[in-house]
Amino acid sequence: MKIIKIITTLLLLSSFAYADKNMKIGSKGNLSDVNRVVKVIMYDNYYEPSSFNIKAGETIKFEVVNAGELVHEFNIANKMMHMKHQPEMEKMVENEILFADSIDKDKMKKMAKMDKSMSHSHSNSVLLEPKQKGDIIWKFDDVANIEIACNVPGHYQVGMIAKVDIN
Ligand SMILES: [Cu+2]
């Protein structure tokens, strides 16, 4: 069992390293470069607004609030990356780190020391408990096929996805 777990983890980590180099999703932005602040409210299970119009090259500060009763994620990626991220989130549920309406942050930190995929501190996403707020500053440079979505198990499947138009 342990060996299977290690192999799975290695596969996940290597696929992420690959994704980072080749996926055109932009990069973490600097506060001094912010062109626009966009407020986003997360409900159960959708975003308000449900789509975004972004100019290529723009740096946006997303101020995200979770107004729902469940944990939600605001994750800037593409479909393939969301698909790869979802098993990690399922693993967080299995390990009793992620609950429907809360996150065990101490446990998440402890697990992260053993398994990097559990740290959940990628700069392209925020994972928020009900009533929490979080910011992401993102530079939309050299981007294609971006999708903002929530990878809490089940949420992507019921359509917690926001469309991103780059022009
Ligand atoms: Cu969600």
Instruction: Render the chain in DSSP notation, one character per residue.
Output: -HHHHHHHHHHHHHHHHHHHHH----EEPPGGG--EEEEEEEETTEEESSEEEE-TT-EEEEEEEE-SSS-EEEEEE-HHHHHHHHHHHHHHHHTTSB-SS-B-HHHHHHHHHH-GGGS---TTEEEE-TT-EEEEEEE--S--S-EEE--STTTTTTT-EEEEEE-
How remote is the CA of residue 59 from the centroid of ligand 1, in Å?
24
How remote is the CA of residue 3 from the centroid of ligand 1, in Å?
32
List, for residues 115-166, the tens digit of each pLDDT value: 776 666 678 999 999 999 999 999 999 999 999 999 999 999 999 999 999 9
How remote is the CA of residue 157 from the centroid of ligand 1, in Å?
10
Asked if residue 2 has pLDDT above 50, the reply is yes
How remote is the CA of residue 127 from the centroid of ligand 1, in Å?
9
Asked if residue 18 has pLDDT above 50, the reply is no
Domains of the chain (ranges plus CATH)? 2-166 (2.60.40.420)
Residue 17 has a pLDDT of: 44
How remote is the CA of residue 67 from the centroid of ligand 1, in Å?
11
* Band of pLDDT at residue 4, cut at 50, 70 and 90: low
How remote is the CA of residue 78 from the centroid of ligand 1, in Å?
16
- Identify the residue with better confidence: 158 or 16: 158
List, for residues 59-78, the tens digit of each pLDDT value: 999 999 999 999 999 999 99
- Any idea which of 82-86, 110-114, 116-120 has the lowest mean pLDDT? 116-120
